[in-house]
Amino acid sequence: MIVGARDAFGSRRLLYHPATGHTGERVREVLAATGVRQVTPDRDAIVGHLYGPRHQDRTLIRDVRAVPPGHALVRGSTLHLRRLPPASRAADLRTALQTALAAAFTAGKRVALALSGGLDSALLLALLHAQGREDVPVYVLATGMPDYCEREAALAMAQRLGASVSVVTVQASDFVDALPRVLREVEEPLFNLHPVAKRLLAEAMARDGIDLAITGDGADQVLRRDASANYLPLCQALFDTAGVRWWPPFLAPGVVRHLCSQPPDADKACLRALGAQLALPDVLVQGPKRSRLAPAMDLDSLDVAARIPPLARALDLPAPALETDRERVLWTTLVMTLDLLTPEPTPP
């Protein structure tokens, strides 16, 4: 009997306790179901997060395992994993995307589009307007940070199609302040603070009463065949737990079936071709792909640095030099996440 399954790119987590069979989307949810009060960090999983490669079948807690992308959890005499068969080919790309977009409106919810300055979300906005959905508002996150603010490009695209725009203005301190609540939902260390942007945008949408957010997430992963699941399940958790349903059309089954029937396409030639059909600006159709990583931010206010060397010793790992932003973010968020997952025992 199949207990649950995880899509090929791992956009929604599925965790389980091998001994008890309890399942859930979060470590704390599984632990609460088992009644376990004392837990042990999984050193191998932690090393995978810090230095690679990540272990897709593990979490930071030894007794809670993860179903890897593209696998089902099957209950027989014991719990075991089964690889899912590859998907069959679907309709053409434009039709598949239009179908995925149309499905967002079937529940009568208030829908908005998260618009960046890139090709993926611009394609979705153009397809929405081609479907007569000109009333869908777009949300743009403005950080003001050099090389990490796409406000102008996103506004230009929105104005080109006459879309109603809400600009969500944030700064570095907002990212740092939001980090504890982000880690509470993702339950794993981050190597960059970019996922925090998703939470800030989701919270702004929730305040405005938006129920469902269409996003351009997933295009990169599907086109590169990147099943690392180091980003997409974070997006899902951060939107859904903010009270806004995450709706990424590029991860819709029909779209995935179509894209995976073609050779890997890291340069997004197929999306560029569709963008040309939709008369998107040349800067989007022909321009280079831009990095989405957040710049370095000051984490001192989190008061974690002094706890990093003792944690490294406890894990029998070399003390980190903390010379790069990646290293600082990884170790800081590791300490904070372990605090959430391994609380102090309650006195009898």
What is the four-CA torsion angle of 311, 241, 72, 195, rounded to 10 degrees?
-60
CA-based R_g, the chain, Å: 21
Beta-strand relationship, 138-142 and 65-66:
unpaired
**Last residue of a domain, which of 22, 52, 83?**
83
**Residue 347 confidence (pLDDT):** 43
- Structural domain including 315 reads 301-341
Residues 29, 55, single domain; the answer is yes
The one-character DSSP state at 155 is H
250 located within any domain: yes
Residues 168, 219, single domain; the answer is yes
296 located within any domain: no
**Last residue of a domain, which of 83, 102, 120?**
83
Residues 76, 175, single domain; the answer is no
- What would the two tokens of residue 346 be? 């309650």
348 located within any domain: no
d(CA 224, CA 227): 9
Show pLDDT as tens, one digit a residue, over the chain (348 residues): 899 999 999 999 999 999 999 999 999 999 999 988 789 999 999 999 999 999 999 999 999 999 999 999 999 888 999 999 877 666 799 999 999 999 999 877 899 999 999 999 999 999 999 999 999 999 999 999 998 999 999 999 999 999 999 999 999 999 999 999 999 999 999 999 999 999 999 999 999 999 999 999 999 999 999 999 999 999 999 999 999 999 999 999 999 999 999 999 999 999 999 999 999 999 999 988 777 899 999 999 999 999 999 999 999 999 999 999 999 999 999 999 999 999 765 444
The model carries a pTM of 0.94
**Residue 89 confidence (pLDDT):** 66
254 located within any domain: yes
| Most distant pair of Cα atoms in the chain: their distance | 68
Residues 103, 40, single domain; the answer is no
Compute φ and ψ for 156, nearest 5 degrees: -60, -40
Residue 141 belongs to what H/E stretch?
Answer: strand 138-142
DSSP code per residue over 107-139: T---EEEE--SSHHHHHHHHHHHHTT-TT--EE
Residues 150, 239, single domain; the answer is yes
d(CA 88, CA 257): 6
Residues 280, 211, single domain; the answer is yes
SS3 sequence of 264-318? CCCCCHHHHHHHHHCCCCHHHHCCCCCCCCCCCCCCHHHCCHHHHHHHHHHCCCC
Compute φ and ψ for 104, nearest 5 degrees: -70, -20
Residues 53, 182, single domain; the answer is no
d(CA 254, CA 235): 20
Residues 131, 269, single domain; the answer is yes
Residue 169 belongs to what H/E stretch?
Answer: strand 165-169
Residue type, 3: V
207 located within any domain: yes
Residues 158, 235, single domain; the answer is yes
**Last residue of a domain, which of 54, 83, 112?**
83
**Residue 344 confidence (pLDDT):** 62
Residues 62, 208, single domain; the answer is no
Residues 334, 253, single domain; the answer is no
Residues 211, 187, single domain; the answer is yes
155 located within any domain: yes
265 located within any domain: yes
What is the number of structural domains in the chain? 3
**CB contact at 8 A, 308 and 320:** yes
Query: Domain containing 75 — which CATH number?
Result: 3.60.20.10
d(CA 260, CA 282): 26
DSSP code per residue over 54-86: --TTB-SBTT-EEPPTTEEEEESSSEEEEEPPP
- What would the two tokens of residue 142 be? 């403005």
Query: Domain containing 262 — which CATH number?
Result: 3.40.50.620
**Residue 245 confidence (pLDDT):** 96
